[in-house]
Amino acid sequence: MVALAGPGQGSALAWPEFGQRFAWRQGEHVTLIGPTGCGKTTLARAILGRRDYVVVVATKPRDPVVDSFRKAGFRVTRTWPPPPTWQHVVFQPRHQRRDDLPHVRAAIAAMLDDVYVSGGWCVYVDELWYCTGRLRLGDHLTDLWAQGRALGVSLVAAAQRPRHVPLAAYSQATHFFLWATGDEGDLARVGEFGRADRRFVQQTLASFPRHDTLYLHAIEGTAIRTRVA
């Protein structure tokens, strides 16, 4: 893997070495942004395996994300809370028809409220735009983003495009994983992340192979290129 262009602006690490260096503390948030099929779910599984209590939010009646995490040892529950011995779960409320959407929203909102009170969980939200838009869960997620460090709750949020990401997912996240994009509007948005050089981030993502990801640490300004093995 070739080092990124620009002295001090980034380096390239194979995934095993990156995984050893990646320091992600409870209460810190992670934002993943990239198109379908780029590797977001694979990366999410890899980092979520570090946590003792993880809930994956599933919003679709048939969701490949559910199968992916089930194969990784997660158990699926339709109700909340899960049994005390279940530490890695997929929460998938009953959803068979469009008429079930109010139930789905209410069930996920109640789960997020319980996580807010109990603390200690890591919540993975796939399809962020759907949760904040169609399901109107933006206020619940914003509270977790804003209070996560104090509550001991980490929020890992995934979206396909930067323009689909709420402001709190930018301002409150410590860790970013970004995949290639050629859209000028998206490139302008990702250039605002953290302390990394704006032009460097834009030029890198505009020329990236599909499955490579650019990791940015919002506070330290670290920039590393890797690919989940």
Query: Which residue has tokens 């948005």?
Result: 189
Which 3 state secondary structure label does DSSP give 110? helix
| Domains of the chain listed by start with CATH number | 1-24+174-229 (no CATH), 39-159 (3.40.50)
pLDDT at 191: 64
Phi-psi region of 136 (alpha: psi -120 to 50; beta: other; left: phi over 0): left
The single residue listed with the structure tokens 């939010």 is 57
Structure tokens at 185: 């509007």
| Residue 7 predicted with pLDDT over 60 | no
What are 61-110's pLDDT values in tens digits? 788 888 999 999 999 999 999 999 999 999 999 877 777 889 999 999 99
Q: Would you state the pLDDT for residue 219?
A: 87
The mean pLDDT value for 36-59 works out to 92
Question: How does 58-78 read in b/e, with b if 16+ C-beta sit within 10 Å?
Answer: bbeeebebbebbeebebebbe
| Average pLDDT over every residue of 38-50 | 92
pLDDT tens, residue by residue, 144-166: 999 999 999 999 999 998 877 88
What local confidence, expressed as pLDDT, does residue 5 receive? 36
> Mean per-residue pLDDT for 136-140?
96
3-state secondary structure of 204: helix
- The overall average pLDDT reported for the chain is 88
User: What is the percent of the chain where pLDDT is above 90?
Assistant: 60
Q: Read off the pLDDT band of 8 (50, 70, 90).
A: very low
Phi, then psi, of 14 in degrees rounded to 5: -65, 155
The tens digit of pLDDT for each residue in 162-221 reads 877 888 998 899 999 999 988 887 887 776 666 667 788 888 888 888 889 999 998 888
